Amino acid sequence: MKILYAPASPYSAKVRMAAHYCGLPIESQIVDTGADPAILTDGNPLGKIPTLIDDRGNAVYDSRTIMQFLDHASGRGLYPRNAEKRQEVLTLEALCDGTTDCLLAIVYEQRFRPPEKVHDPWIERQWSKVERALDHLNDHMPRTARKLHGGHFALAGLLGYLALRFDGKWERGRPKLKNWPGKFRGFFADYDRFRPQA
């Protein structure tokens, strides 16, 4: 099995961390999504990463679907069996992924449009969502212990992306969130190996 990914992708970071935590023998392969490589687009017509290629050659995507695949394949319980607790973890993952969506929308707006066409109200709208989400996360930090779950890995991917692309722009007034990666490293020592990288 292999995960097709890009080093800066927070969603790729999430699933690669989770696969490593679960002890699954999955190779990681960097792909250039802009080049539409056949190894990616033959299985995933959207040409998006991460994409997991299973041991039968089938493509699994997007990141939340991959997380469910990893949970099932490993039997390690990335998601609680208790329905209420499972829903809490899934909601945390959705919040972290949705916040990441907003950050990527900002990055793409600034990167792919000519400066005179960058729509600042759109960026401000996305950033207001990010700030609400980060305030909520800071006020409702998930309990972090040796038994990690899908929400933890989504949060690690989000905070890694913030550190990569928005360093110094979000930390003020959010000490719990700012310090969480250090706490997470205590339970997942390979965080720096997998977090989003330039």
| Tens-place pLDDT, residues 116-133 | 999 999 999 999 999 999
In the β-sheet with 59-60, what is the strand arrangement from edge to edge? 27-30, 2-5, 51-53, 59-60
**Which of 25-29, 60-64, 72-76, 162-166 is least confident?**
72-76
CA-closest candidate to residue 89, choices 42, 155, 35, 26? 155
Both structure tokens of 176: 């719990």
Residue 56's pLDDT is: 95
CATH class assigned to 83-191: mainly alpha
Cβ-proximal residues to 123 (8 Å cutoff; 6+ apart), any chain: 106, 109, 110
Could you state, in order of their start, the residue ranges of all structural domains in the chain? 2-74, 83-191
Both structure tokens of 71: 């949970």
Q: How many Cβ atoms from other residues are within 10 Å of residue 9's Cβ? A: 23
CATH class assigned to 2-74: alpha beta
Whether 184 shows a pLDDT value over 90: the answer reads: yes
Q: What is the pTM of this model?
A: 0.96
